């Protein structure tokens, strides 16, 4: 019996072709409650500024490090979306804005979505991704735009000789930046 093309992949992952067809679809993130002990522990190790580990300060108490807020976004995005994508590697954080501080007790929710997919090269495509986190009052605490490489379905059937794309870079498809290391 012959078939019109390769058999569908049965691993449950979403490949570049699948995600390109889902441009604009939101994946919900959270909720997660930010605790003072977690804020202090993260900051003590990675960002020990007084506003994250001390008492008082301009915010009347500790606030989460922006790096911590981003790490929370990343974990929630992995749980809700990225773990089902055939991710090869992150490419870039093009823009990250932290318009409000995150306080102990804040409950964060949000979303992530694919905004665009570049034509595949070398068995992978670059996805343009956007995300947001809000606190329990509906106030935005993080927005970001990222780029990630995701495998194509065809490439998943073959061993790759290299994980590096050729020439794709910048925030638009095909615009070379000279720093495209994958």
pLDDT digits (tens, 9 = 90+) for 108-155: 999 999 999 999 999 999 999 999 999 999 999 999 999 999 999 876
Q: Is residue 180 in some structural domain? A: no
Q: Is residue 10 in some structural domain? A: no
* Phi, psi of 99, deg, nearest 5: -75, -20
Mutual angle of helices 36-46 and 66-80, in 10-degree steps: 110
Q: Is residue 37 in some structural domain? A: yes
Measured between alpha carbons, how far is 108 from 43 in angstroms, rounded to an integer?
18
Q: Is residue 69 in some structural domain? A: yes
pLDDT digits (tens, 9 = 90+) for 49-67: 999 998 878 999 999 999 9
38: domain range?
16-156
Kindly report the average pLDDT of the chain as a whole number.
85
Measured torsion, CA atoms of residues 26, 31, 36, 38, in degrees rounded to the nearest 10: -70
pTM greater than 0.85 (yes/no): no
Residue 38 above 70 pLDDT? Answer: yes
pLDDT at 171: 45
Q: What's the total number of domains in the chain? A: 1
Q: Is residue 41 in some structural domain? A: yes
H or E stretch at 114: strand 107-117
């Amino acid at each position: 019996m012959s078939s019109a093309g390769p058999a569908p992949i049965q691993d449950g992952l979403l490949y570049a072709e699948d995600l390109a067809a889902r441009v604009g679809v939101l994946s919900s993130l959270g909720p997660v409650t930010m605790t003072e002990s977690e804020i202090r522990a993260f900051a003590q190790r990675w960002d020990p500024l007084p506003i994250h580990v001390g008492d008082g300060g301009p915010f009347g108490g500790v606030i989460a490090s922006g790096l911590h807020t981003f790490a929370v976004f990343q974990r929630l995005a992995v749980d809700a979306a990225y773990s089902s994508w055939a991710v090869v590697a992150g490419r870039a954080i093009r823009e990250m804005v932290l318009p409000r501080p995150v306080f102990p007790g804040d409950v964060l929710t949000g979303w992530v979505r694919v905004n665009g997919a570049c034509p595949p090269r070398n068995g992978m495509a670059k996805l343009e991704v956007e995300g947001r986190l809000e606190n329990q009052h509906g106030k935005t605490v993080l927005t970001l735009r990222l780029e990630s490489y995701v495998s194509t379905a065809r490439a998943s059937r073959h061993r790759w000789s290299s994980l590096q794309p050729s020439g794709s870079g910048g925030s638009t498809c095909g615009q070379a930046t000279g720093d495209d290391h994958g």
